[in-house]
């Protein structure tokens, strides 16, 4: 039976979530402190990456506030005025009209602002002032997509909100939330790019709080999946729930996308079929290969220099220069690409896989067709990792000079080239698990092929300590994995002959064997 035929809810991956249609985490519990700010008549900002539930939260909050009867709450998007050629006057007119149009959908007639048709307003401030003056209840204005506004338009709107703030709650909205992808400091950066400033430390210095909408907790992910089990009888077991949380790290879109891929795509809404960990992993692979809009928009950000610098540093395990540490890290965190914790790493294992794969795709697509899985598989079906890495040494010697120079991501090109080569071979029978973090000086790779596991550590030779550090780090990695053998791959950028750079050496280290692979 399908979800449509049984009337069951579904896992939503597009647009607003509705309780009657979708499995969903209670949005109001995710930001309980907001209602306190509203009661205190405060202005605040709320930011989170795309598709983390911001708009769903705003509409749930507005419905609750309106149902309680104390406030007039309205959610409005400012995205319509977010293009570079718009004038300040045009933007103000568009935003005024947007507020009225959104009120037609969300509010009864007596609570709406007046129609702007045939009227003239100096700007948004006057329109909001007129609305507030003609209402008994205080107004709560929840402005979504605020950071779609650009340059002078953004300055104008922030100034008007700041100017009206002192007249709240009778003559201006009692509480205003600015909601977008980025923290308030990013508004300041945008404004100052054009050498124009509001003349204060912050363009919205009346704000009391800058809130971040966090990912789902493990408990929330489990509760979301359990809703499906309760509705259909199809069980997400403990191991499957753990795997979904591990792969998504609670990112709301990824959590729902994995569950939807499992239930509706792989199992075709047949609730009699069993959900297994292998099916969860297959769903992950399909999402990565399909690259839905969410993942494509994420990858598109890799073209920005400030994103590229941090992403390459994570892949290399490098440390950042202090002059880019704060603003760029905050920006990339706000986009949801990297973790909110330290050391900085990709936000979840799916991002950690798809970002290097996309960065390396031109390389992988150019690898000769002869480099395929059967070359490196023994008659018993096991993978010959030694043969694979020795073949890569040949490939690297013949191609790296031309490829590395013309590759867009030069700082991490060595690592990406090896990962592309491995991916080409592993695609047909295994997976690569990547562990990368800022400042750790390496990439840890775990290649799984059938029942085999191979640990690889990738390092760029920076100084005389690189190899010794690499051996100790790989030894600890092997301990963690419970393996006795691993590969330490050293890329040497120095001007040396290939005879000096290329080697394949076995080194005993305690009860372990470390295989040194020089490049």
**Do 204 and 198 touch, CB atoms closer than 8 A?**
no
Which one has a higher pLDDT value, 440 or 398?
398
* Tokens matching residue 424: 């080409």
**Do 72 and 139 touch, CB atoms closer than 8 A?**
yes
Q: Is the pLDDT of residue 300 over 90?
A: no
**Do 336 and 52 touch, CB atoms closer than 8 A?**
yes
State the Rg of the chain over Cα.
27
In the prediction, which pLDDT does 478 show? Answer: 94
* Tokens matching residue 302: 């890799």
φ, ψ dihedrals at 44, nearest 5°: -155, 165
pTM summary value: 0.84
Query: The tokens 């997509």 sit on which residue?
Result: 145
Helix (H) or strand (E) holding 299: helix 293-300
Residues in the chain: 519
In the prediction, which pLDDT does 206 show? Answer: 63
In the prediction, which pLDDT does 201 show? Answer: 39
Measured CA to CA, the distance from residue 213 to residue 116 in angstroms comes to 34
Per-state percent for the chain, helix, strand, coil, to nearest 5? 50, 15, 35
pLDDT in tens, 35-74: 999 999 999 999 888 888 899 999 999 999 999 999 999 9
pLDDT in tens, 302-315: 888 888 888 888 88
Q: Is 503 helix (H, G, I), strand (E, B) or coil?
A: strand
In the prediction, which pLDDT does 322 show? Answer: 52
């Amino acid at each position: 039976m399908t979800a449509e035929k049984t009337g069951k809810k579904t896992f939503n991956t597009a647009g607003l979530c509705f309780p009657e249609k979708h499995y969903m985490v209670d949005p109001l519990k995710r930001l309980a402190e907001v209602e306190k700010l509203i009661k205190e008549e405060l202005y605040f900002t709320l930011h989170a990456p795309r598709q983390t539930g911001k708009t769903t939260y705003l509409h749930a909050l507005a419905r609750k506030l309106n149902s309680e009867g104390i406030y007039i709450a309205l959610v409005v998007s400012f995205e319509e005025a977010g293009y570079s050629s718009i004038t300040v006057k045009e933007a103000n007119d568009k935003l005024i009209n947007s507020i009225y149009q959104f009120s037609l959908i969300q509010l009864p007639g007596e609570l709406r602002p007046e129609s702007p048709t045939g009227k003239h307003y100096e700007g948004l401030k006057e329109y909001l002032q007129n609305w507030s003056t003609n209402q008994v209840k205080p107004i709560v204005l929840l402005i979504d997509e605020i950071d779609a506004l650009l340059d002078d338009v953004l300055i104008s709107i922030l100034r008007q909100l700041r100017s009206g703030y002192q007249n709240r709650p009778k003559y201006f909205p009692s509480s205003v939330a600015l909601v977008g992808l980025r923290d308030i400091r990013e508004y300041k950066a945008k404004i100052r790019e054009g050498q124009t400033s509001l003349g204060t430390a912050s363009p919205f210095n009346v704000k009391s709080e800058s809130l971040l909408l966090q990912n789902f907790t493990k408990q929330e992910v489990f509760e979301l999946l359990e809703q499906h089990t309760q509705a259909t009888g199809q069980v997400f077991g403990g191991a499957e729930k753990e795997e979904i949380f591990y792969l998504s790290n609670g990112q709301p879109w990824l959590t729902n996308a994995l569950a939807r891929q499992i239930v509706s795509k792989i199992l075709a809404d047949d609730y009699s079929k069993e959900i297994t960990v292998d099916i969860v992993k297959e769903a992950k692979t399909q999402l990565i290969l399909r690259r839905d809009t969410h993942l494509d928009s994420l990858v598109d950000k890799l073209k920005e220099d400030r994103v590229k610098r941090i992403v390459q540093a994570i892949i290399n395990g490098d440390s950042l220069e202090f002059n880019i540490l704060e603003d760029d890290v905050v920006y990339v965190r706000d986009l949801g690409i990297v973790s909110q914790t330290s050391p900085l790493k990709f936000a979840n294992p799916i991002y950690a896989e798809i970002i290097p794969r996309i960065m390396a795709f031109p390389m992988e697509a150019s690898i000769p067709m002869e480099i395929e899985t059967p070359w490196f598989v023994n008659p018993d079906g096991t993978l010959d990792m030694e043969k694979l890495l020795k073949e890569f040494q040949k490939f690297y010697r013949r191609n790296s000079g031309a490829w590395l120079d013309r590759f867009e991501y030069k700082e991490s090109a060595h690592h990406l080239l090896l990962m592309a080569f491995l991916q080409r071979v592993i695609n047909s029978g295994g997976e690569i698990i990547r562990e990368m973090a800022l400042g750790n000086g390496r990439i840890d790779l775990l290649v799984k092929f059938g029942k085999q596991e191979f640990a690889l550590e990738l390092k760029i030779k920076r100084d005389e300590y690189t190899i010794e550090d690499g051996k100790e780090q790989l030894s600890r990695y092997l301990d963690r994995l419970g393996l006795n053998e691993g590969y330490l791959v050293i890329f040497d950028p120095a001007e040396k002959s290939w005879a000096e750079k290329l080697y394949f050496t076995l080194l005993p280290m305690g009860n372990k064997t470390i295989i040194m692979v020089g490049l």
